[in-house]
Structure 1
Amino acid sequence: MKKTILILFIVLVSISFLQGQTYRIDYQMTYKMDSTKDETIKKKMILDVKDNVSKFYSYNLYHIDSLGSNQIRKKASDYDFSVIRKTKDNTTEKYFVIGLDKYSFKEDAPKFDWKITEEVKKIHDVNCQKARLNYKGRNWEAWFAKDIPFQEGPYIFNSLPGLIIDMRDSGNNYIFTMTALRKDVGAVDPIAETIPVNRKQLTKAYLDYYNDPYKELKAGKAVVKVVDESGRQVTPNFNQLTELKQKDIKMKNNPIELTDAIKYP
C-alpha cells in the first residue's frame, strides 16, 4: 500500500510540478565513519527543493526547527552532511560542527561528469536509470527517475535528468535511498548562526581541535563530570583523554569527499 501511494504521488508530481512550491524528499542515509570496519550508522535526511534553492539536512535539525525554540536550535549540533545549494549564484554552502563551534564553508558548486548508462530497473516500482560518477576519490553509482522532473539528489549531488532515487559508492561507505516524496510542505530554516570560513580556515579548525580537543573543558567553557568506578568525582586526565580522542578522530576520518580528508599528524 505504501509503495502504491508513493508511485501515485510521483505521477502527480510529474504532472503538476510548479515553481514556487516546496518539494521534500526523505532519504535514508547509511554510512561508515571508519572505512576499515563493517559498522554503519543510519541517519534520516531531508532534501527540500524550492525554485533555485535546495537544502539537505538531518531530520534531527528539522525536528528541532519545528519545535520553534531558538534556544533549543542554538544547542543543536547535528550539522553533519548539511548543504544549501543555490542554483542562481551557482554556490554550495556546507556546514560543520567542530568542538563547540559551528562553521559554514561556501564554494562554487561542482560540475559533475556523469556517465549515464543504458541500464534500467525499478526501485519502489519506479522506473530508474543508472549513472556513474567518479568524484573526489570515490566511484559512485546513482539511479535516477526521469519521471520526477527536477535534477536533484542527496548531499551535493545533482544535475542528472531526474531525481536521484538511490546512490552509493563502490565500497558502500555511503548509501542514500529515497524513502518518501511530498510537496507543499512548510518552509524550514534548519541552520542556526555559524562562523563563515574558507577551506584553509576550516582545515585549521579541524587540526586545532585534534591537537587540543578538550580546550573548552580546560578553559571552563563546558562542564563534564568525570567519575571513577566507585562513582566518586575525579579530576580528568586530559593527556590520556586527548590521546584516546585523537585515535578516535583518525579512525573516523572517512568523509564523503575522500580527497578532502584532513591529514592529521
Structure 2
Amino acid sequence: MTKTIIHFFLVILTLSGLSLQAQKRILYNIQVTYPDGLKKNSTVYLDINNDKADFYEARFITPGQKPSGLVQAIERKSGTSENTILVQDFKLNSFRIKTTDILDWKLTNDYKTVEKYKLQKATASFGGRNWNVWFCNEIPLAEGPYKFNGLPGLVFEAEDTDGVFKYSLMKIENLSKSSVQPTLNVKNAVNITWEKYNKLLSDFYENPYQKERESAQKGNEIVYEDKEMKVQDFTKMTKDFQAMIRKNLPPYVEADKNFLLNKTN
C-alpha cells in the first residue's frame, strides 16, 4: 500500500481580497479509509465563483483521470443548502439529484492554530455520520468541501468520528479567465431522486445480467470471453459481481444513502 503524505498547508494565503464575493479555487486532499483498512488519497476541488460553488473530482479538469465513486460533483449557490449532485450508475449513465441539506452546526470553544491561522471547531451530525470540522473565521467564506458549508468561515478540515473520511485544505488559488474550467454540464444527465437512483443501483446489483439471462432462456447463444454461456452460468457471475461491488465500492460520505445498507448478500 502506497502511503501518501500530505503536507497540510505548505501554502501562504493572502487574506486581502478574500470575501463573500470571491473567485477562488480551493484544493482539498480527501483521505478515504476502506473497511479493510486501506487508505486512499485524492485531490478534490472547490470553486467559488462569486455566488456559485462547485465541488468536483480531479477528473473534470485533468484528462485521463477516472471517477473515484458514484458521487462525482456537487453544484450550489454559494452559502445555501440547495445542492445539485452529479452521480453515475454502474453502467456509467449520469444523473442529477437535487437535495436540501441543512446542517445543524454546533460551534465549540475549541481552537487550534495551523501555520498562522486560528481555527475553530464545529460539530454536526449529517448523512448518518458525526463530523468534526475546523474552520477559519479570518477567511469569511461560508463554504467547504462536499456539503459542509454555512459556517462563519472557510472550512479547513472535516473528518467523521469513525475516521472514514478526512478532508484537508491543501491550497487556495485565484480563479481567472485562464483557469481550466471543469466540465460539469454533463450531456444526457437525467434528473432523478435519491430513492429512484438507489432503486436503479439496487436492481442492477440484484440482476446485472438480466438481458443476457433472458436471452439465454429463449435459447439464444450467448458468448462471453469465448465461452458459450448457459442460464446457470449467470447465477455464479451475479454472485461474483455482487462480491466485487461489496469489496470495491467506495464508502459513502452520506452513509445513510448507501444502497447496500439493507443488502444481506
- Would you say the 8 A contact 2:8–2:168 is kept in 1? no
Give the match for residue 51 of structure 1. Answer: 50
Residue in structure 2 matching 1:102, options 88, 94, 115: 94
Alignment partner of 2:183: what SS? coil
1-structure distance, mates of 2:201, 2:183: 23
2-structure distance, mates of 1:121, 1:216: 57
Give the match for residue 256 of structure 1. Answer: 253
Q: Is 1:146 paired with 2:164?
A: no
Structure 2 counterpart of 1:114, one-letter code: W
CA positional deviation for 1:21: 4.7
Alignment partner of 1:242: what SS? helix
- Would you say the 8 A contact 1:99–1:213 is kept in 2? no
Give the match for residue 247 of structure 1. Answer: 243
Task: Tell me how many residue pairs correspond in the alignment.
Answer: 239
Structure 1 counterpart of 2:173, one-letter code: R
- In the superposition, relative to structure 1, how do residues 215 and 58 fare at CA in structure 2: closer, same or farther (>3 Å)? farther
1:32-111 matched pairs, under 5 angstroms: 32-34=33-35, 37-64=36-63, 77=67, 80-87=71-78, 90-100=81-91, 101-108=93-100, 110-111=101-102
Give the match for residue 147 of structure 2. Answer: 156
Q: Is 1:6 paired with 2:11?
A: yes
- In the superposition, relative to structure 1, how do residues 215 and 47 fare at CA in structure 2: closer, same or farther (>3 Å)? farther
More helix per residue: 1
Alignment partner of 1:82: what SS? strand
Note the residue ranges of structure 1 that are not aligned, 5 or more in a row: 65-71, 220-224, 228-232
CA positional deviation for 1:55: 0.7
- In the superposition, relative to structure 1, how do residues 205 and 27 fare at CA in structure 2: closer, same or farther (>3 Å)? same
Alignment partner of 1:6: what SS? coil
1:184-263 matched pairs, under 5 angstroms: 184-185=175-176, 186=179, 188-191=181-184, 192-193=186-187, 194-214=189-209, 233-235=226-228, 237-251=233-247, 252=249, 254-262=251-259, 263=262
2-structure distance, mates of 1:97, 1:56: 16
Q: Is 1:112 paired with 2:108?
A: no
Structure 2 counterpart of 1:197, one-letter code: I
- Would you say the 8 A contact 1:81–1:155 is kept in 2? no
2-structure distance, mates of 1:102, 1:156: 20
- Would you say the 8 A contact 1:6–1:180 is kept in 2? yes
Alignment partner of 2:145: what SS? coil
1-structure distance, mates of 2:157, 2:212: 42
Alignment partner of 1:16: what SS? coil
CA positional deviation for 1:155: 0.5
1-structure distance, mates of 2:98, 2:9: 40
CA positional deviation for 1:39: 1.2
Alignment partner of 1:210: what SS? helix
- In the superposition, relative to structure 1, how do residues 23 and 204 fare at CA in structure 2: closer, same or farther (>3 Å)? same
- Would you say the 8 A contact 2:106–2:123 is kept in 1? yes
Over the residues paired in the alignment, what is the CA RMSD in angstroms? Answer: 3.0
Cα deviations by residue, 1:62-85 (Å, 9 ceiling, x for unpaired):
113xxxxxxx89xx6556342111
Cα deviations by residue, 1:67-110 (Å, 9 ceiling, x for unpaired):
xxxxx89xx655634211124875201121112211110122x1
Note the residue ranges of structure 2 that are not aligned, 5 or more in a row: 1-6, 215-222
TM-score if structure 1 supplies the norm length?
A: 0.78
2-structure distance, mates of 1:208, 1:4: 44
CA positional deviation for 1:144: 0.6
- Would you say the 8 A contact 1:22–1:187 is kept in 2? no
Structure 2 counterpart of 1:106, one-letter code: K
Give the match for residue 31 of structure 1. Answer: 32
Alignment partner of 2:162: what SS? coil
Structure 2 counterpart of 1:188, one-letter code: Q
Alignment partner of 1:213: what SS? coil
CA positional deviation for 1:249: 2.7
